[in-house]
Amino acid sequence: MEFFKVLAMNQLGTTKCRNTEFRWGERTYVMGIINLSPDSFSGDGITDLEAAMTQARRFVSQGADILDIGGESTRPGSSPISTDDEIKRVVAVLERLSSEVPVPLSIDTYKSEVARRALEAGATMINDQWGLKRDQRLAELAAEWDVPLILMSNQRDKGGYDAGIQRDTAYYEDLIAEVTSSLHQSLELALKLSVPRENIIIDPGIGFGKTWRQELEIIRRLEELRELGRPILIGPSRKSFIGMVLDLPTDERLEGTAAAIAIGIAKGADMVRVHDVQQMARVCRVSDAIMRWS
């Protein structure tokens, strides 16, 4: 096991973010979700500054390594909001968090102007749910500010996908090949725009334009994304594929999320984006003990 741990560290290296070093291969890192949109699929949207601060402090005390702050809902079928409204939702929270919590802050947006204002307010990572398909200037910002950039594979613009409806029909000849190709294109574009390779993290986009069976397949075949040579983030938390398997509403998907994360770690995940930090940090710790400790 030590051989594989050293191999992963040599391949992926270290990503610096604020005062934190993500030493890939040593353990799984936990990203806590701070959702500042009232239109949340999981029902965890926060619209009050003090409530956001309370949740952030709790997440840090429970083991979050980084917090991901988003102002626009990514729920399938949700309506986009204006850049100004998104900025209003995130900037005040980021300004407070950057001075009051010790962990790095990520801005979850696909709009470069939102990202710029977030970086000025204290964010130290950009999480682009469209993998530079919507706004290439996000890569330029990541390079300019020397911050890590998460590139996600998003298939919601693919013909045949009916947003908000989970179907059994596959729209891909080879799902993983398409996700890998999408991430490779985003990765190459980011590199072309001067983002250092060590600052790039990839995300297969669970819940973004795939059927629920395809989301299971992504986790089952996650190790195939290792060919891209970058750390892998997964976000299965409370997602609809868990509801389809268990026939449970969003607020009863804790155990299903834990199973997805544990298997995801076994298949190569380096960071997990979660709503339930305390429980998933414990899942990560035991999974790491099994998979990473010699």
Residue 28, φ and ψ in degrees, nearest 5? -95, 135
Contacts 24+ apart (CB under 8 A), 17-22: 17/66, 17/104, 17/124, 17/125, 17/147, 17/148, 18/103, 18/104, 18/105, 18/124, 19/102, 19/104, 20/65, 20/66, 20/103, 20/104, 22/65, 22/148, 22/231, 22/270, 22/271
> Radius of gyration over alpha carbons of the chain, in Å?
18
Phi-psi region at 156: left, alpha or beta (left = phi > 0; alpha = psi -120 to 50) = alpha
How would you class 136 by CB atoms within 10 Å of its CB: exposed for 0-12, middle for 13-18, buried for 19 or more?
A: middle
Q: Tokens 């950009």 appear where?
A: 126
Q: Residue 191 is inside which H or E element, if any?
A: helix 175-192
Query: Nearest to residue 122, comparing CAs of 103, 149, 140, 143?
Result: 103
Residue 201, φ and ψ in degrees, nearest 5? -120, 140
| Active-site annotation, residues | 239, 273
Q: What's the token pair of residue 107? A: 């801005």
